[in-house]
Amino acid sequence: MAATGGIPSIMEETKRFRRAGRLDRLPPYLFVEIDRAKRALVERGVDLVDLGIGDPDLPTPPEVVEALRRACENPAAHRYPSQRGDPSLRAAIAAWLERRHGVAVDPDREVLVLIGTKEGLGHLPLAAVDAGSTALVPDPAYPVYQAAVWLAGGEVVPLPLREERGFLPRIEGLDDATLETASLLVLNYPNNPTGAVADGALFREAVDLASRRGLLVVNDAAYAELCFDGPAVSLLETPGAREVGVEFHSFSKTFNMTGWRVGFVVGSPDALDALAAVKSNVDSGVFTAVQRAAEAALALPDERIRQQVDVYRRRRDTLVDGLAEAGWHLPRPRAAFYVWSRIPTDEGSAEFAARVLRDAHVVVTPGVGFGVEGEGYVRMALTAPEERVAEAVRRIRSIL
Structure confidence by residue, pLDDT tens digits, 306-321: 999 999 999 999 999 9
- Percent helix, strand, coil in the chain, to 5, is 50, 15, 35
CA distance 340 to 365: 10
Looking at the chain, the whole-number percentage of residues with pLDDT higher than 70 is 94
pLDDT the model gives residue 230: 85
pLDDT the model gives residue 5: 42
| 25-54+303-399: CATH topology | Aspartate Aminotransferase, domain 1 (3.90.1150)
Residues whose CB falls within 8 Å of the CB of residue 66, separated by 6 or more in sequence, listed in order = 296
Domain boundaries for CATH 3.40.640.10 within the chain: 62-298
DSSP character string of 288-302: HHHHHHHHHHHTS-H
pTM for this entry: 0.92
Parallel, antiparallel, or unpaired: how do β-strands 182-187 and 134-139 relate?
parallel
Domain boundaries for CATH 3.90.1150.10 within the chain: 25-54+303-399
| 62-298: CATH topology | Aspartate Aminotransferase; domain 2 (3.40.640)
Q: Which alpha helices (DSSP H) does the chain contain, by range?
A: 10-20, 30-43, 62-72, 87-101, 117-128, 143-151, 176-179, 200-213, 241-244, 251-254, 269-282, 288-298, 302-324, 349-355, 386-399
Chain-centroid distance of CA 207 in Å reads: 21
pLDDT the model gives residue 28: 67
Model pLDDT for residues 88-147, shown as the tens digit of each residue: 999 999 999 999 999 999 999 999 999 999 999 999 999 999 988 999 999 999 999 999
**Apex CA 23: angle with CA 19 and CA 27, to 5°?**
110
Residues in the chain predicted with pLDDT less than 50, given as ranges, are: 1-20
CA distance 184 to 21: 23
pLDDT the model gives residue 38: 84
CA distance 161 to 169: 5
pLDDT the model gives residue 203: 97
Q: Looking at the chain, how many residues does it have?
A: 400
pLDDT the model gives residue 11: 41
